[in-house]
Amino acid sequence: MPGGAKPQLAGWGGLSVPGRELRSERLEEVARGLPLTRGLGRSYGDSALPPPGVTAVAGSVRADRILALDPARARLRAEAGLSLRDLAWTLLPRGLFPPVVPGTQFVTLGGMVAADVHGKNHHVAGTIGRHVTGLRLLTAAGEIVDCSRERSPDLFRATIGGMGLTGHLLELELALDRIPSPWILQETRRVAHLDETLAALAESARDWPFTVCWLDALASGRALGRGVLIRGRWAEPGEAPGTPPRPLRGPAVPFRLPGFALNDLSVRLFNAVYRASFPARLRRSVVHPQKFFWPLDAVRHWNRIYGARGFTQFQCVLPESERPGAVRRFLAEAARRGGSSFLCVIKDCGAEGEGLLSFPRPGVSVALDLPMRRDTRALVEALADVVLAEGGRIYLAKDAFVRADQFRAMEPRLAAFARARDRWDPERRLRSAQSVRLLGDPA
């Protein structure tokens, strides 16, 4: 750090604490004895931040080798710091693709497993954990342990979605998807209100592997829940351009924009313009995979548009079919409280994964980006109350503000997670700022 400024570690939303990463090509050498490993720091809140008073965590990004890639069996073994970007662009020309990808390619495989990420295909493919066939961890006791569905299954299940709290992930094995071409056939259309949005998602889920809706989070009243439906599948060779897609590198936001750049008006404007850029009726096109899966990656460091105060994301899943109207009640509460959001994404989820703390469950996931204001914590707590009342849960990878009592009430699975940790890390040496905040780990 130039100028003697104290090094800081930050979540993607901008929340930061003093501390730094120790990086090495041999992750196990630096991770030994440290409370946490982090990847590319794309979790929004405090999942990848050290517990209070601890100033060093391990950083995995240099441990990024592909150890075995078997195209015939569609299997991969890699080190945990491998970035999704490197992996995806290695696989695409070979007719392969990771079975589940989140909304940015700037994540590590370790981070993907630790958060048990879901993608636009959750309704058919589940989370990444479903496709993981083996993990190698450095445990709190300093042992290197291989686990899978057969070997130490408790550790395996606790690690998937376990936010780094069960061990330092060193290597993992993944089953890959075969794809007919490296291009995506996409269909988009506007949706006018929430009922139409939910119906469009449900209807699309039957035939389309990738579905999602972007919502205009500022619309209210009868327009509540209006937005754009985006669905897609891999293009067949006959539908795709003959040339392979190349990774795109967009411009970057050079510095944190001043706080006034993003206000209710600019958000309203963005949402209106963005929605208007989509056709009212269904439009079909063949698109670049990066534009389809990772549209936000087009602008690097886009989180800087939120200025020095940063932002947070609130993501929850609501059991809409058990409690019809849950999504409407949630969105109405968010709108009423002025949770103005640059980005609101909703997506129907399929079956719950094996991970003991895995986020998705059957229902509808809603994600809102919230610029940091004085009342953001109160807003998040209020939204968490709605989630609790509706029987839903929140996504740890996005969270920084939910209260421990709220989280515990949402998570009947915590006891099983604690049992696995009791066995593998009884002293709770592995901790994060988040686990101290939400799980009552020692500070």
Partner 1 sequence: MNTVILGATRGIGRALARAMAARGDRLFLLGRDARDLGASARDLEARAGLAEGAIGSAACDLLEPATFAPAFDAAAAALGRLEAVVVTAGLFATQERLESDRELARRVLEADFSGTVLFCEEARERLLAAGGGRLCVLSSVAGERGRKPVVLYGAAKAGLSRYLEGLDHRFHARGLRVVCVKPGFVRTSMTEGLPEPPFAGEADEVAAIALAALDRGRPVVYAPGIWRWVMAVVRLLPRAVLRRVGF
Ligand X SMILES: Cc1cc2nc3c(=O)[nH]c(=O)nc-3n(C[C@H](O)[C@H](O)[C@H](O)COP(=O)(O)OP(=O)(O)OC[C@H]3O[C@@H](n4cnc5c(N)ncnc54)[C@H](O)[C@@H]3O)c2cc1C
Nearer to partner 1 among residue 80 and residue 396 (C-beta): 80
Contact flag: residue 72 with partner 1 (CB under 8 A): no
Residue 133 interacting entry, from partner 1, ligand X, none, C-beta within 5 to 8 Å by type: none
- For residue 370, count other CB atoms closer than 10 A to its CB: 24
**Residue 363 interacts with which of ligand X, partner 1, none, CB < 5 to 8 Å by class:** none
Residue 138 φ/ψ region, left for φ over 0, alpha for ψ in the -120 to 50 degree band, beta for the rest: beta
Does position 104 bind ligand X by CB under 6 A?
yes
Amino acid code (one letter) for 305: I
Q: Which is nearer to ligand X, 240 or 396 (CB)?
A: 396
x/- binding map, residues 21-40, to partner 1, per CB under 8 A? -xxxx----x----------
Tell which one of 30, 34, 78, 80 touches ligand X (CB under 6 A): 80
Q: What is the C-alpha to C-alpha distance for residues 205 and 351, in angstroms, rounded to an integer?
A: 13
β-strands 283-287, 184-191: how paired?
antiparallel
Residue 67 is a binding residue for partner 1 (CB under 8 A): yes
Question: Could you count the other beta carbons within 10 Å of the beta carbon of residue 434?
Answer: 27
Stretch near ligand X under the rule CB under 6 A, chosen from 14-22, 38-46, 149-157, 255-263: 38-46
Candidates 102, 129, 307, 355; binder of ligand X (CB under 6 A) is 102
Classify 382 as helix, strand or coil.
helix
163: contact with ligand X by CB under 6 A: yes
Residue from 14, 19, 35, 39 binding ligand X (CB under 6 A): 39
Among the residue ranges 33-41, 146-154, 275-283, 414-422, the one whose residues contact ligand X (CB under 6 A):
33-41
Q: Is 296 in the site for ligand X (CB under 6 A)?
A: yes
Q: What distance in Å separates the CA atoms of residue 76 and residue 64, rounded to the nearest whole number?
A: 13
Burial class of residue 177, CB neighbours in 10 A (0-12, 13-18, 19+): middle
Among 324, 105, 122, smallest CA distance to 212 is for: 122
- Closest CB 9 distance from ligand X, rounded Å: 9
Chosen residue from 28, 86, 216, 441 binding partner 1 by CB under 8 A: 86
Q: Does 43 bind ligand X (CB under 6 A)?
A: yes
Place of tokens 């009243």: 221
Tokens of 400: 């920084």
> CA 161, CA 197: separation in Å to the nearest integer?
29
Reported residue count of the chain is 443
Q: Name the residue nearer to partner 1 (CB basis): 2 or 254.
A: 2
φ and ψ at 83, to 5 degrees?
-85, 150
CA-CA distance, 440 to 402, in Å (whole number)? 13
Q: Does 68 help bind partner 1 (rule: CB under 8 A)? A: yes
Q: Shortest distance, CB of residue 137 to partner 1, whole angstroms? A: 18
Interaction between residue 358 and ligand X (CB under 6 A): no
Q: CB under 8 Å to 193, separation ≥6 — which residues?
A: 222, 223, 224, 225, 226
Chain contacts with partner 1 (rule: CB under 8 A): 1-2, 4, 20, 22-25, 30, 62, 65-69, 86, 90, 93-94
Chain contacts with ligand X (rule: CB under 6 A): 12, 36-43, 47-48, 60, 80, 102-104, 107-108, 110-112, 114-115, 117-119, 163-164, 168-169, 296, 397, 432
